[in-house]
Amino acid sequence: MSNLYEFTMNDKQLFGTKIAVNSAGLWVMEVKGSGDVVTVDKDKVEEVIPHTIGVRFLGNGPTYHYFAPKGKFELGFYLFTNQNGTSIVEVSALDTKSKQATKEFTPTLKFVTEAIDSSSDT
């Protein structure tokens, strides 16, 4: 399967697949929907990657990447259930553009937290 790329040409956002590199070092792209073949500077091309977030299980373990609709989740703590059981997880990064994601992020609860004023006398 070819990777999908986004680029701008003549003030128009286009999508295409890379089919070669020409002798000038430009990417030869086939434009989706038209079949046109164009050349583009590789620095002007961005791979289209589904929106992903970084999630850490409580205890500061490694960050795992999940697919998530853009804007649906924010940084913070969630209750998450998977094949290993139920855990509290932290969404620690947004829009990670990770190719490591393989599953949707599907928490059941979001924890709303409030800072505790530790300077008050009790």
Residues of the chain with pLDDT under 50: 1
> Per-residue pLDDT tens for 2-23?
689 999 988 999 999 999 999 9
Q: Give CATH 2.30.30 domain extents, the chain.
A: 5-47
Residue 106 CB partners (closer than 8 Å, separation 6+) = 80
CATH of domain 5-47: 2.30.30
> CA separation (Å) from 49 to 6, 16, 96?
10, 13, 10
Q: What is the pLDDT of residue 121?
A: 57
Q: What is the pLDDT of residue 1?
A: 47
Taking the whole predicted model, whether its pTM rises above 0.85 is answered as no
